[in-house]
Structure 1
Amino acid sequence: MEKDMTAGSPAKMILNFTIPLFLGNVFQQFYSMADTVIVGKFVGTKALAAVGSTGTIMFLIVTSLIGMTAGFTVLTAQRFGAGDLAGMRKSVAMSGILSAIISILITIISMAGMKSLLTVMNTPQDIFHDAYVYIMIICGGIVAQILYNLLSSILRALGNSKVPLYFLIFAALMNIVLDLVFIIGFHLGAAGAAYATVISQGLSGVLCLIYIIKKVPILKMTKDDWRMDWIVVKFQLTIGLPMAFQYSITAIGTLMVQSALNILGSTMVAAFTAACKIEQVVTQAFIAMGTTLSVYSAQNMGAGKVKRIRQGFRAATWMSFVYAILSGLLIMTVGKYMTVFFVSGNIGEIMDAVDIYLKCVGIFFIPLAVVNLYRNGIQGMGFGLLPMMAGIAELIGRGVTAIIASRHASYLGICLASPAAWILAGALLIVMYFYIMKHKMPISEETTP
């Protein structure tokens, strides 16, 4: 089911690749959404706030891992696009070794510093214990996170976006079942939700591994493939670490927003948590399109097809803009009514707060589309450091807005932090794209079939 993205209609290929990715991302959201819904309904608002208060920490960990593993597999996609299967297998082996080492380090560091981080973030005392237990279990399962994200990134680098979707659907359904068992059956509360998430994520990773071993013969590894190649390692670190750092910069800004939010109390934390879950389901399309453009750009970069990369950027941009307008209108008008899925008490007050957030972000979905498309597309071409500057712009926009909102105890200001980040980063990324295309790409253009 591997797919060569260096030939055929760019728009059709991007759309066909994006749809399974989008569905997969939505099902991946079900991990945390199932936790949120079941905890909020069956344990209570404070438990929901406890899970929600750690959401930005999870975002920091998970998105950093996604960025890192996606960066490690850029070379895999480039060598696949160039028809260099031996080089492709070498890149897969090196990404596996690097991911194993880094997963151990991140697990140790995150678990050692978690209590201090929750304290610095002003986590309310009435939810501190549940928040700490929940996030420590999640950190203990970082290896499971990396296993799935790396293997799914490898499959996508080879043009296969459907198989990771199938395993995510299975894992999402398993997560819901385990949530019900651990929370309602065993009365484990927030900790039960964390156990369900880790186990489900681990299962999806194991299924990916079994599939690759049995169904992807071009990834049948030999002893030579596992011998250290420091040139490959250097390239992967040059792309993977900046991507991870860039995602972490974004998450750090989100942590600043969470710290400002925590000052407003557990009810506002619960409302913000519910609103973010609603937004994240809708915006998975932007993330999927960005991932698609990264793979598409990497394969075509490996094949030397610069003109085709430009065509892909244009097609993805128009598709994302249309979706941004339609989805923005949707959540600004009816999104708030999804609040009833998350809470059983204070619904009126929480729904009003959810509506404020959704209106603030929905009107700025076009800049968000730009951020996801151009950041990932540029990284797919092999430029790891330049997009990191956009991550810094995001941090500045989100961080400054959060600080101002914190000083004035303004919920509206907190809701505007993400739009400020998207506008600054999106503008910078567009400038970067045109600079790269004008000054960094080959002057001669190939004839695109």
Structure 2
Amino acid sequence: MVSNLIQTLYNLIDTYWVSKLGGTDLAAMSLVWPMSFLMIAIGVGFSVAGASLISQYIGAKNYEKAKKVIGNLLIISAVLSIVLGAVGYFAAPTILKLYNLNNEVYIRALGYIQIIFMGLPTMFFMFVFNSIKQGEGDTVSPMIFGGISVAMNIILDPIFIFVFDMGIEGAAWATVISRGIIAFISIASLFFCKGPLRLERGDLKKDGAVILKIVKVGLPSSLGQSMSALGFMVLNGFIISFGDNIMAAFTVGNRINSLVLMPAMGIGSSLAAIVGQNLGADNVKRAKKAIWESVKICTIFMVIGGIIVFIFSNDVVKIFADNPDIIEPGTYYLKLICMSLPLVGYFQIFIGTFQGSGHTLSAMIIMMGRLWLLRIPMIILLTRFEALGEKAIWFSMVGSNFFICLIGLGIFMTGNWQKKIIKGEPEEIEKVETV
């Protein structure tokens, strides 16, 4: 939970300082977020596969195989991040022109996103490190490294934005530099840590069979994450059509909402490791118990958090905006989305369960389905009622969260997630156990 809070603080800090530049800069930053997430999603998908495989191999006490997964995951991430960063950098101008933005928003959005794309390898390696530690069940190390990175970002943001007068591009550079330094240190720590998963140079040797397994498990997750990012790009297209202020209101509301969702995201991430390790150890009963305990904890956090934010929504939005045209719609959006927070929490639990068990196809279905099957069609339908205005988008978001939880519950009840994905390797496992 603390690690997810730290990640959310990254976004909140950038949002706070960029909001001081004005609504145009805030809208520009929010507009391009799905573009960066589209590229990051591919790396995140393979990291999810790595965490799933690592956790199940640890549960089966096959540490050598787990180290091979870690080594090949680093190779995949290095290659992907460089290629995708280059593609994103050169494709950004063309993509942004599709939004038909005014020149001021276009220039600021382009400057911000191209810097983020140049720093894509730093983000990939941070995600890889977190997924490796998640698979091990070590949530403390990502928390410490992430905390240091956020502290650096807090210091660098105002310096780059205002002292160096770099504006919104300064926020991007602060993020890339702070993440880059910590990414280097965190990956290096894998070679100096104690325990059975300490990496050696030989673990970085390319293994076709391991890479194939990572790709097989990671591809559905990458596709699901990528299609979600594309869905959010389409969603942003609808929001920006109502004006820069509505886009800024959505940005502020979403950042605050992300903070409240932090416990659910933390529970979902830890649940993935617990489910993976227990399935690897053939302890399905304990995996089930972890899921239902997660539901209870998540419900408590989301209900309490939702009530608090609902009551103080107007005051919280005013921290990030002083324009009534941003405060009013931002407050309305925040209040509405707070009422559906438990649903988003359950969504995170389903994702954690399916990813931890290695059944990433199920996770892909609900990730893609929430946006493409439900949310976007609902937006197209509701925006026909002009009286609703931007509220049509907010209602569609709540409605899609409700229906996707029903779909996720149906997939969960089939019980298919209970089948572990590390099969056909009894000789290796027995060999490790007897050492």
Instruction: Identify whether the pair has TM-score above 0.5, normalized to the shorter chain.
Output: yes
Q: Quote how far apart the aligned CAs of 1:315 are.
A: 0.6
1:403 aligns with 2:380: yes
Alignment partners' CA distance in 2, 1:261 and 1:251: 15
Alignment partners' CA distance in 2, 1:121 and 1:419: 25
| Aligned twin of 1:447 | none
Alignment partners' CA distance in 2, 1:78 and 1:150: 17
Q: Quote how far apart the aligned CAs of 1:406 are.
A: 4.9
Q: Quote how far apart the aligned CAs of 1:268 are.
A: 1.3
1:389 aligns with 2:368: no
| Aligned twin of 1:144 | 122
Alignment partners' CA distance in 2, 1:53 and 1:99: 26
Alignment partners' CA distance in 1, 2:7 and 2:39: 15
1:429 aligns with 2:405: no
1:92 aligns with 2:70: yes
Alignment partners' CA distance in 1, 2:379 and 2:103: 21
User: Where in structure 1 are there 5+ consecutive unaligned residues?
Assistant: 1-21, 443-449
SS of the residue corresponding to residue 73 of structure 1 reads: helix
Alignment counterpart, residue 182 of structure 1, candidates 146, 150, 160: 160
Question: Which runs of structure 1 show a deviation greater than 6 angstroms over 4 or more consecutive aligned residues?
Answer: none
| Aligned twin of 1:104 | 82
Letter in 1 for 2:411: M
Deviations 1:41-98 (A, max 9, x none): 2x22222222222223234344443333122221111111111111111111111111
Alignment counterpart, residue 14 of structure 2, candidates 35, 60, 75: 35
Deviations 1:290-332 (A, max 9, x none): 1111111111111111111111111111111121211221222
SS of the residue corresponding to residue 385 of structure 1 reads: helix
Alignment partners' CA distance in 2, 1:45 and 1:441: 48
| Aligned twin of 1:379 | 355
Alignment partners' CA distance in 2, 1:188 and 1:213: 37
User: Where in structure 2 are there 5+ consecutive unaligned residues?
Assistant: 422-435
Q: Quote how far apart the aligned CAs of 1:251 are.
A: 2.0
Alignment partners' CA distance in 2, 1:392 and 1:146: 22
- CA gap 1:421/1:247 in 2 versus in 1, 3 angstroms: farther
Letter in 2 for 1:186: F
Query: Which stretch shows the higher mean deviation, 64-73 or 394-403?
Result: 64-73
Letter in 2 for 1:398: R
Alignment counterpart, residue 202 of structure 1, candidates 173, 180, 183: 180
Q: Quote how far apart the aligned CAs of 1:438 are.
A: 9.1
Q: Quote how far apart the aligned CAs of 1:439 are.
A: 8.3
1:24 aligns with 2:3: yes
Alignment partners' CA distance in 1, 2:394 and 2:101: 18
Alignment counterpart, residue 281 of structure 1, candidates 250, 253, 259: 259
SS of the residue corresponding to residue 360 of structure 2 reads: coil
Aligned-CA RMSD value: 2.0
Within 5 A, what are the aligned runs for 1:327-366?
Answer: 327-343=305-321, 345-346=322-323, 348-366=324-342
Q: Percent identity?
A: 24
Letter in 1 for 2:394: C
- CA gap 1:424/1:376 in 2 versus in 1, 3 angstroms: same
Query: Which stretch shows the higher mean deviation, 414-423 or 83-92?
Result: 414-423
Kept after mapping to 1: 8 A contact 2:298/2:345: yes
